[in-house]
Structures are given as structure tokens and as C-alpha cells.
Amino acid sequence: MLAFLEKLDRRWVFLLMGLAVAIPILFPLPFEYKPSALARSVFDEIDRLPDGSRVLFSFDYDPATSGELSPMARAMLYHCGKKKHKLYVMALFGPGKTLGSEAIQEILLKYAGDDYTYGEDYVELGYQTGNEGVIKVAVTDLPQMFPTDVRGTPLSKIPVLEGVENFQAMDLLVAVSAGDPGSKQWIQYFISAYPKTRMVTGTTGVQSVSLYPYIPNQLAGMLGAIKGAAEYETIVNAKYPGPDGKPVPELTEAQRRMGPQLTAHLLMVSLIVVGNVVYLMGRRKAHQSGGGR
């Protein structure tokens, strides 16, 4: 057995991981999630704003991380829709522009469509090259960075942008971020210089570690990875359920994905334990046979 484990073909590990992820997808594991303080802070920040407040919503991710970030982006967009906030949607990642448009069509207009007319209640600014340079210019002069919206309309002719000369006019920034440029750049070039605008973020698990130092001063709240999204979905569904009084189907996606995450994490822990047992037994055997160092 020890010899088998010592020379275990990695394809067995791949097979185990495949099963660990596939089985809970085929047979979902129902769990209830207790919202963490950070998820609650994000919810409170969006919820305490008066209806119709100005919210800048940045989709700073691409399809590679959409499995982790789309559920939280959609839940926050739904929440903003229920609060009838004016939405200014943009992206610091090229594909983020398309992902943002999809979320607007599939969530905002589906569940809050009566309250949202393009140009009057929300606008899509799209994507611009320049990374943090985009933020740096738009915080003082929005039309210089975005002369038109994604439909080619000059910003001066869009009603929802009346009185909005730059990002400083925003009440809240929601950044869903996969890396650079993302939440960190928003903090460095916007929120630190103009703290009147509050900021909440949703990030990948890997990136969340680097953002903890900014809580609570620069960041009012943070959703970390799929767990943060599942917690947020729980809070939003409890306060703003779907038209039939049940949880919004699109807002149960993160909770569904927590099942495969649980089994995958358990497998990882088991593999590390088994790997270490094999390592220690092998070392002991080597010592006993006089070959150890």
C-alpha cells in the first residue's frame, strides 16, 4: 500500500478531484449559510443609501474568474436594482464589459426592469484601456476618459449623467475584482483621495487576503470568494425575495457552488494528510533500513 501511494499516478488524484466536484453538482448538497460580518457590511452599505443614489459598478474580471465572481456581482446588481439606485456600469477588464452587459440583461432588467430605462436610470460606460490611468482621469474628468457611452451617445446627452462631472459624484463604488487593475487600484487612485464616496468590493479568494488591510476605512465591506457570495445571496434573498416570495433562482448559484467547494476542500485536506503520512512512513522506513540521513 505504501509503495502504491509513494508512486501514486497523479491521474488517480485527478479522478478523485473530478468525482469530488462532479457528484455534488449532480446531487446538490443543501446548506444554510450564516452571513459573516463582512458580507453584512456590504449589504448594509448598499441598503442604507437612499433609493436612487448614484452607484458606480465596475466589472473588473473576465470569464476565467466569472465562476467565482459572477454570482456576487449579480447579487449586488439585483440588490442595487431593488433599491432603485442609479447605476453607472463600467469595466477595467476588456471582457468585463460584456459580462456586465449580460448581468444587466439577465438580472437587473429581468427583476427591476420597470424601474430601469437606459440613459435615465442606468448607463454603460464600457471598457477603456489604461488600467489605473482610467481611474485617475475619470475621478476628476469623466467625459475626458469616456467621451461616449457604449452606444456612442455623448455623455452630455445622457440624462442620468446630468450633474456628474466625475466619479466624485458617486455615493458608492461597487468593484467586483479579479486582480490588477481592480479593487486595489480603486482604493489607491480614487477612494483614498476622495473618501466621501464609500466602497464595497467582491473579490476572488486569492485577492481578498491583500485587501483585508483596507477594512474598514477604505473598504466598507468585502465579499471574499464563493463563500462571500453565498452569504450575500442569503441576506439579499431574505430581504428582497423574488416575485413569488421565494429566493430568486439566479441568486442561489453561489450557494449551489458551495457543495462542490466543500467536497473539493475536504479532498485537498485528505490528500495533504495522506501525503504527509506517506512521507513520514517512508522516512521512518529509510531510517530503519539505515539509509536515512
Q: How many residues sit in the footprint of other proteins (CB under 8 A)? A: 68
Alpha-carbon distance values, 268 to 2, 11, 110, 131, 254 (Å)? 19, 15, 39, 36, 20
| 32 in contact with other proteins (CB under 8 A) | yes
76-84, 93-101, 195-203, 246-254 -> range binding other proteins (CB under 8 A): 93-101
- C-alpha span between 103 and 56 (Å, rounded): 15
Question: What are the cell numbers at 174?
Answer: 461597487
Write phi, then psi, for 60 (nearest 5 degrees): -100, 55
* Nearest CB to other proteins, comparing residues 99 and 172: 99
CA 121 to chain centre: 23
- In whole angstroms, the minimum distance from the beta carbon of 208 to other proteins comes to 8
Interface with other proteins (CB under 8 A), residue from 36, 53, 148, 168: 36
Residue 65 in the binding site for other proteins (CB under 8 A): yes
The binder of other proteins chosen from 52, 241, 275, 292 (CB under 8 A):
275
Instruction: Report the residue number, 20 or 172, with the smaller CB distance to other proteins.
Output: 20
Q: Which CB sits closer to other proteins, 81 or 126? A: 126
With both helix axes pointing from N to C terminus, report the angle between 253-288 and 10-26 in degrees, rounded to the nearest 10: 150
Distance CA 155, CA 237 (A): 35
DSSP state of 150: T
Q: Other CB atoms closer than 10 Å to residue 212's CB: what's the count?
A: 11
Contact 220, 99 (CB under 8 A): no
What sign has the CA pseudo-torsion 108, 113, 114, 116? positive
Which residue number, 34 or 50, has a Cβ lying nearer to other proteins? 34
Contact call for residue 53 and other proteins (CB under 8 A): no
- Choice between 49 and 262, CB closer to other proteins: 262
Classify residue 284 by burial, with Cβ atoms within 10 Å: 0-12, 13-18, 19+: exposed
The pattern of x and - marking residues 166 through 195 that bind other proteins according to CB under 8 A reads ------------------------------
Confirm or reject binding of residue 225 to other proteins (CB under 8 A).
Answer: yes
Closer of 13 and 23 to other proteins (Cβ) = 13
> Where does this chain bind other proteins (CB under 8 A)?
8, 10, 13-14, 16-18, 21, 29, 31-34, 36-37, 62-67, 95, 97-98, 101-102, 105, 128-131, 133-134, 136-137, 140-141, 144-145, 150-153, 205, 208-210, 212-213, 215, 225, 227, 258-259, 261-262, 264-269, 271-272, 274-276, 279
